[in-house]
Structure 1
Amino acid sequence: MRRLRALLATVTAGLAAATCVTAAGPANALSGSANSPSRAACSSAVSIESYSDALDKTTYEGTFVGNFSALAVDRDGAIAALSDRSSLFTLDPKTLKPRSVVPLADESGAALDSEGLVVDRDGTRLVSSETEPAVRRYGRDGAVLGRLPVPDALRVAPAGRAAPNQTFEALTLFPGGRTLLAGMEGSLSGDTPGLVRLQTWQRHDSHGSHGSHGSHGGSSHQDFRLAGQYGYRADTGLGVVETAATPDGRLLVLERGFTSGVGNTVRLYLADLRHATDTRGVETLTGQNGVRLVRKTLLADIADCPSLGATAKQPQPNPLLDNIEGMTITGRTPGAHSALKVLLVSDDNQGATQTTRFYSLRVRL
């Protein structure tokens, strides 16, 4: 925990250097798409500027564009968009049009249930799969470069205590690039339902240089080793589907659920790992017995956003809603009262009742 506190102090002091929010956001791609006033309030902290369905049910170079489970900003400002069906797209940051697509696979060539995405500081891609679960490092060409260690308890039963399709749905890298975090979507067997584990790794440069960017895909010079683990309480009926580290070392957490005949619930929280108990040695997570859970504050329920004229293909509390699953911070607004530019995307599951939809938000912390 001392390492995490030191990290948070460092990134707070070095806010201006944080690389995760330096890229220009895709406002131009979304502006005007909803024919509605910009910055419409969802809450006192969050406003929605626009949305876009332009990529819904489209193809690019013979690959279906959709099934998006994660977003990240590439080093050149482009948007990396991960499909949970083993495809990684590069999207233009202004138009969101696909520029390229790369197939992904595991070490044996099998398809992935790819859910989380980070573009590391050397340009390689860290991708989580919730099948095992696993976090693998890929080159820009899609070649597997390495694999991170995973605690046994987080593996899918019977190897561990996790339920299928309830593992590493979220993945983010803290500013400074030294701490990686993966969020479990659901609870482990034996843990209190609704309490999920957030697993971290700490980067250790093999030559002892904390400034090394690596020269061979980052796998040999930038080893991530298992570090702290923390308990997070998701709302009843919801799971953690994405996280994004903020410049000051906190987390945006996206929680999502679905009720047949009613639709989706999607809420955005601000979470703080400081003062949370390291739960690596806690076999049964109950939120009691002196265990301090990650603190969270509701920023917005997306159902409370103005609909902006959006339409839904199935019942929804707000027709703007869909199966929102991906999130990244793309930049900051200028001025003394600046806000984070946040891009969301929904996973249409390649189905007729869901939509691939991008959302442009402004989030004030």
Structure 2
Amino acid sequence: MRSGHVLAALAASLAAAVCPTAAWPASAGPAAPAARPAAADPAPGHACSPRVALDRFSDALDKTTYDGTFVGNFSALAVDRDGSLAALEDRSSLFRLDPDTLRPEAAVHLADEHGADLDSEGLAVDVDGTRLVASEVEPSVRRYSRDGRILDRLPVPDALRVAPAGRATANQTFEGLTLLPGGRTLLASMEYAISGDSDGIVRLQTWRRTGHGPFRLAAQYAYRTDPGLGVPEVQATPDGRLLVLERGFTPGVGNTVRLYLADLRHATDTRGVDRLTGQPGVRPATKTLLADIASCPTLGATAKQPQPNPLLDNIEGMTITGRDRHGRLKVLLVSDDNQNPAQTTRFFFLRVALRSPVGASAAAPSAAR
């Protein structure tokens, strides 16, 4: 979750079953509140790895609309202060979803200072309910009010800007955004390496604030991805580590999506390091594989294009919605269908154990480098 205050507010449970084929009229009114049954453990055989289990998936929002707005293109998720889900699409709409049914309840249009649409990719809800939204165009991080007004814009290091202003490549910049516990540190993840850094090394940029003051540029870290993969999303865990999604796509084969646990505690602050290529003494964040999503049970999922597992699609958004009775994190993922008939808007309900089960080996050997 985003901060200690937000963690305390996450009472909403996503344990109610969701019908994968449900859809609603474009302008349907609010549904009566659904009863929220006690969380159940995943059924036997739902393990993706010793540390990750898949409860279920839902295609309920695939190719639907809400008040004339296409529901899809989702790039980020967050739990709002009232327990609802905030779902950000990369074409400038921010939806409020019912946490049990996923039914859209409201939509707000976001724009830049000139009224132009954003390529909005990252989302965090601050302790006061304002929205922090990352766009990968410049890149940028802006603060918005609940009704979509721009309140502030955070500074961005020159090197992370898209060339020729900086060394980043268009559409490969800020993808993930998360507030660390306590709400004073914001972190954004670049999707791919900037020019001058080794392939596979992405930068994690942080901002820090004092009290209720503005966010100011702070430490920066290196994170090494698996070959050919980028980072579409990061989420801070309650203990200050990071859940990191790594993702790639191979035409004719499909998606690769892996979930890692990363630790910044012994990583080098790289904000003064110009080139992360062959630099001695630079320690990237350590990472441990939690699960390859291709190893999850299919649970009857179907795919509209070739995939290593028909459950897979272009997974891009992630949020932590609480804990189960065993202390495992309840993690919600969503895929970005790119408004493409060959792709699916799909939600994935996971349980994630941050510690290895007693007597079980880890999902894979540590991938720390």
Distance 1:265 1:291 in 2: 28
Alpha-carbon contact 1:20-1:73 (below 8 Å) kept: no
State how 1:102-121 maps to structure 2 within 5 Å. 102-121=108-127
Match of 1:257 in 2: 248
1:290 aligns with 2:290: no
Name the CA distance, whole Å, in 2 between partners of 1:30 and 1:91.
13
Match of 2:7 in 1: 19
Match of residue 133 from structure 1? 139
Per-residue deviation, 1:25: 3.0
Task: Tell me: CA distance 1:304–1:32, structure 2 relative to 1, closer, same or farther (3 Å).
Answer: same
- Spell out, residue by residue over 1:239-298, the C-alpha distance to the aligned partner (whole angstroms, 9 max, x if none): 000001000000000010000000000000000000100000111102641001000000
Aligned to 2:91: 85
Cα deviation digits, residues 314-353 of structure 1 (max 9, x gap): 000000000000000001001xx32000000000000000
Are 2:273 and 1:273 equivalent residues in the alignment?
A: no
- Aligned-partner SS, 2:310: coil
Partner of residue 53, structure 2? 47
Q: Percent identity?
A: 72
Gaps of 5+ in 2: 23-41, 355-369
- CA spacing shift, 1:242–1:20, aligned 2, 3 Å: farther
Give the secondary-structure state (helix, strand or coil) at the position aligned to 2:215: strand
Aligned CA-pair RMSD:
1.9
Query: Which position in structure 1 is the counterpart of 2:310?
Result: 319
The structure in which a higher percent of residues are helix is: 1
SS of residue paired to 2:49 = coil
Map 1:222-233; keep pairs closer than 5 Å.
222-233=213-224
Separation of aligned partners in 1, 2:159 and 2:17: 42
**How far apart are 1:20 and its partner, in Å?**
7.1
**1: CA distance, partners of 2:302 / 2:348:** 14
Deviations 1:5-61 (A, max 9, x none): xxxxxx9xx97x662772323221537889x94671000000000000000000000
* Alignment match of 1:182 (pick from 178, 182, 188): 188
Q: State the secondary structure of the residue aligned to 2:159.
A: helix
CA distance in 1, matches of 2:167, 2:261: 27
Deviations 1:202-233 (A, max 9, x none): 0123xxxxxxxxxxxxxxx4300000000000
The answer to whether the 8 Å contact 2:230/2:248 transfers is yes
User: Does the aligned pair in 1 maintain the 2:231–2:245 contact within 8 Å?
Assistant: yes
Distance 2:202 2:185 in 1: 19
Give the corresponding residue for 2:343.
354
Looking at structure 2, the residues matched to 18 and 60 of structure 1 have their Cα atoms a distance apart, in angstroms, of 28
Q: Distance in 1 between matches of 2:344 and 2:97?
A: 18
The match for 1:73 is 79
Alpha-carbon distance in 1 for matches of 2:353, 2:43: 18
- List runs of 5+ in structure 1 lacking aligned partners: 1-10, 206-220
Q: TM-score, normalised by structure 2?
A: 0.87
Cα distance in 2 between the residues matched to 1:353 and 1:38: 31
Maintained 8 Å contact 1:21/1:331: no
**Matches of 1:264 and 1:253 in 2, distance apart?**
16
* 2:321 alignment partner AA: T
- What is the distance in 1 between the residues matched to 2:278 and 2:101? 45
Q: Secondary structure at the match of 2:220?
A: strand
> Is the contact between residue 74 and residue 89 of structure 2 (CA under 8 Å) also seen in structure 1?
yes
- Residue-pair matches, total: 334
Tell me if structure 1 keeps the 8 A contact 2:72–2:336.
Answer: yes
